[in-house]
Amino acid sequence: MRRSFFALVAATVVALAPALCQTPSGAAQPEKITWAIVIHGGAGGKGNTTPADQPLSAREQLIADYLKTGCDVLSTGGTALDACEKVVRAFEDSGKFNTGKGATSTGKGSYSLDASIMDGSNVGFGAVSSVKAIKNPISAARAVMSTKDHVLLMGPGAEEFAKDKGLEIVPPSYFNATKGKKGGFNDDFDEEDHGTVGCVCLDQKGNIAAATSTGGRGVVLPGRVGDTPICGAGTYANNKTCAVSGTGTGEQFVRHVAAHTISDLMEYKGMSAKQAAEEVVFKILPKGSGGLIVVAYDGEVAHPFNGGAMARGAADSTGRLEVGIGKAMRKAK
């Protein structure tokens, strides 16, 4: 009896070992998170209905693949900024999301790209807006941030700047939106499943970063700019608090300064990342606005949404690797 009790205790300790570690006083503590990443592929669309015991759907697998792209950077000591840029570039090149090559039509085959990136270590911010010829707007946003005295370039000026920086310039025919009625929508993805993309990361040095890239929210007035290139609206990062990337009706994120408000709630009200993110998504933003992803300075993550079925994935140094489209998250490989 006594022996089986000890065997049970030993088995329990072995089972919990990956998640718990001992402090000098002997008390069990959750394993410290040394890096973490959350990504999203837009807030529209239908939830996934694949049963939990079935393989991931094609769209879930795509999110898992991009998540692993970021994990590879972070787990080998790469920076949060590099991971954010690399993941978002992959989304931009895929043609399967409302970003880069796959940017949605804003009406009559036209399109307009916005992107931003933020470095939480020094609150550096860079963005481009209303560009049409830059293959990877997120890299142009990073180049703007690198100037240190500019935060947002738009239109032809931004394109000229990107060209001077050696970034790839592409003709309109590169973008799916110019190819007919279906606009930027790829055959194997529904229109509503075709979203803005974002990535937030914590790296092993304790730096956090956020990046967002979009083709906007569909047919809009010419010249419309949404939340993505606006610091504190669709993107924000500060090592003191968190990194945030939003997706949904950009006008609401701008009106409520959504991303920065999460940081403020953490800094001035002592909320956790999850509490602050849920306060903004469920109490401040109107229902149906969209959702956002957050990673905090301590690796805590959150990804609430208040409409549609946000496609998202989260991973960290403890072995977490999960994706979700709709309410539930599922383990990924």
- Which residues form the catalytic set? 196
Smaller CB distance to ligand ASP: residue 250 or 324? 250
Q: Which 221-240 positions form the footprint of ligand ASP (CB under 6 A)?
A: 226-228, 234
Which residue, 122, 90, 129, 135, is CA-closest to 254? 129
* Dihedral (Cα; 207, 85, 146, 149), 10-degree rounding: -90
CA–CA distance, 201 with 83 (Å, rounded to integer): 7
Pick between residue 228 and residue 317 the one whose CB is nearest to ligand ASP.
228
DSSP secondary structure, 205-267, as one string: TS-EEEEEEE--SSS--TT---STTSBTTTEEE-TTSEEEEEEE-HHHHHHTTHHHHHHHHHH
CA 50 vs. chain centroid, Å, equals 23
* Residue partners of 146: CB distance under 8 A and separation at least 6: 126
Nearer to ligand ASP, 250 or 313 (CB): 250
At 110, which amino acid appears? S
- Judged by CB under 6 A, the chain residues 251 through 290 that form the site for ligand ASP are 290
Distance of CA 168 to the CA centre of its chain: 23
Q: Considering the rule CB under 6 A, would residue 248 count as an interface residue with ligand ASP?
A: yes
| Nearest CB to ligand ASP, comparing residues 169 and 220 | 220
Q: Is 196 in the site for ligand ASP (CB under 6 A)?
A: yes
Q: How far is the CB of 23 from ligand ASP (least distance, A)?
A: 42
CA angle 132, 230, 171 (to 5 degrees): 5
User: Which residue in 48, 79, 239, 247 binds ligand ASP (CB under 6 A)?
Assistant: 247
Q: For residues 75 and 228, which CB has a smaller minimum distance to ligand ASP in the complex?
A: 228
Using CB under 6 A as the binding rule, whether residue 183 contacts ligand ASP is answered as: no
What is residue 63's DSSP assignment? H
CB of 214 to ligand ASP, least distance (A): 5
Binding mask 33-72 for ligand ASP (x = CB under 6 A): ---------x------------------------------
C-beta of 215: minimal distance to ligand ASP in Å? 8
Closest distance between ligand ASP and the C-beta of residue 184, in Å? 12
- Closest residue to ligand ASP, judged by C-beta, is 250
Distance of CA 316 to the CA centre of its chain: 14
Helices (H), the chain: 2-16, 58-75, 80-94, 137-146, 155-164, 250-255, 258-269, 273-278
Select from 137, 183, 184, 250 the one that contacts ligand ASP (CB under 6 A).
Answer: 250
Candidates 241, 228, 244, 234; CA nearest to 302 is 244
Whose Cβ is closer to ligand ASP: residue 100's or residue 195's? 195
Kindly state whether residue 214 participates in binding ligand ASP, applying the rule CB under 6 A.
Answer: yes
Q: What is the largest CA-CA distance in the chain?
A: 79
Query: Residues 217, 303, 312, 330: which binds ligand ASP (CB under 6 A)?
Result: 217
State the residues that interact with ligand ASP by CB under 6 A. 42, 195-196, 214, 216-217, 226-228, 234, 247-250, 290
